[in-house]
Amino acid sequence: MASRKLKITLIALVFLVGGITIYLLYNSKPYAHIRRAEATYILSAGNLIADYDKDEALANKKYSESIIEVSGRISEIKKVMEYHVISLYGNETESGIICHMLPEENSKVTRLQKEQQITLKGVCTGYLIDVMMIKCILKD
């Protein structure tokens, strides 16, 4: 009798944990983990552009959808809707890195200035005529 009760309790527990996991997984906010996640690649804006210059398909395979940490000099800061967009200079080419910041970074971004050297962490989404990043945060 006791073992039957235990079995029912265990099955109920499995369903409960499974249900909660599925719910959390489905309702989780995209990139809620960015702040605490380790970057897969840490590199300079120049090197990132250079990799895309060399072979876009290969660079896409490597960086696209990865969390990367990129350092560079600010070429432009502007506000789009409720968040900021920071552009970093590339190397000798005219391409740069365009980083769409998370809205939570707004107060930090307003203290930044053009030409300042910074490090950003975010998700690389690929390359148009610049390397694109979304969900970016500033690294201290």
Tokens standing for residue 89: 């200079």
Return the half-sphere exposure (C-beta side, CA atoms, 13 A cut-off) of residue 75. Answer: 15
| Residue ranges in contact with other proteins by CB under 8 A | 25-32, 52-53, 60-61, 64-65, 78, 80-81, 85, 92-95, 98, 100, 125-130, 132, 134-135
CB of 48 within 8 A of CB of 131? yes
Give the integer Cα–Cα distance in Å for 86 and 67: 17
Tokens standing for residue 85: 């967009």
Smallest gap, in angstroms, from Cβ of residue 65 to other proteins? 6
Decide whether 71 or 95 has the Cβ nearer to other proteins: 95
Decide whether 26 or 115 has the Cβ nearer to other proteins: 26
Decide whether 12 or 22 has the Cβ nearer to other proteins: 22
Decide whether 64 or 119 has the Cβ nearer to other proteins: 64
CB of 139 within 8 A of CB of 105? no
Smallest gap, in angstroms, from Cβ of residue 9 to other proteins? 30
